[in-house]
Amino acid sequence: MYEIIIIVCLAAALFLLLRHFPETNPDGPKKKFRFWDLFRKRRKLIALSEIEEAVLGKSEPMIAPVEIENAQKAFAESDPELAGILMQATDAYNNNDLRVAEELAIDALNRSKRCASAYLMVGKVAFSRGNFEEAKESLKASLKCNHEIGETYFWLGRIELKNENYTGAIEYLQSAVGLGRTQPEWLAQLGEAYLEVRQFAKASKALKRAASLDIDNKDYKELANMAEEKMRSHANVARMK
């Protein structure tokens, strides 16, 4: 009990001492120290910290020079800042942040009106939102700027598949595969388009290639097996005739 009384007394004495402790102010008279000023100062520090965090949050992320160089090669862009914007747009799209991906792509187009990769990104975002006509326009604009980007043909092929224009889809997807023979998804889409027009041998070949490039993809294997079975059945019917 006595220990508690002693502690309370010491605390009270300390409070009175701090309350009357002078604070040096070179620009004016001495100012008394007030204990609650500590809380005011803390609130100010928190507010400044929040402002600094908000400002830093809006600043652009730092990108390593080697990443910029790789982006320049990947997008075939000589402008390092433009390549950086395209890289960030791609990262946002891969993280399913379509709004940011679209905004960055538009920033890239404001910097260069003939940026094929930026038009491609706008088209991909539109496709992901189900705006296929808008996507088609952007992708065709990408082709006008650069007709050697396989991914542009791939997305145009996907749109034609959605529209059940299988002949058009095959043309685009053949062009895509011609520019990127190691892309399993492009080969698989081409195989599916061939299946729709009953070109089973070509479908089997494309789907087998896709399955060999992505050995963990069960869908590709199943489609390849289905195409093989249809090819054999079709051949047997033809021989019987």
Read off the pLDDT of residues 52-83 as tens digits, 9 standing for 90 and up.
444 444 445 567 777 887 877 778 788 899 99
- Give the model's pLDDT for residue 233: 85
What single letter denotes the amino acid at residue 221? K
DSSP 22: E
Cα dihedral 64/68/74/78 (nearest 10): -170
| Alpha carbons 105 and 99: distance in angstroms, whole number | 10
- Give the model's pLDDT for residue 71: 75
Could you give the 3-state DSSP secondary structure of residue 31? strand
Could you give the 3-state DSSP secondary structure of residue 92? helix
Q: pLDDT: is 43 or 198 the higher one? A: 198
What is the chain's mean pLDDT, rounded? 82
| Alpha carbons 159 and 67: distance in angstroms, whole number | 32
Domains in the chain (CATH in brackets) are 64-147 (1.25.40.10), 153-241 (1.25.40.10)
pLDDT in tens, 117-167: 999 999 999 999 999 999 999 999 999 999 999 999 999 999 999 999 999
pLDDT bracket for residue 51 (50, 70, 90): very low
Rounded to 10 deg, the angle between the 98-111 and 80-94 helix axes is: 160
Q: Is residue 14 predicted with pLDDT exceeding 70?
A: no
Catalogue the long-range contacts made by 194-199 (C-beta closer than 8 Å, 24 or more residues apart). 194/170, 194/227, 195/223, 195/226, 195/227, 195/230, 196/161, 196/164, 196/166, 197/166, 197/167, 197/170, 198/230, 198/234
Q: Is residue 21 predicted with pLDDT exceeding 90?
A: no
- Give the model's pLDDT for residue 136: 98
| Alpha carbons 99 and 231: distance in angstroms, whole number | 44
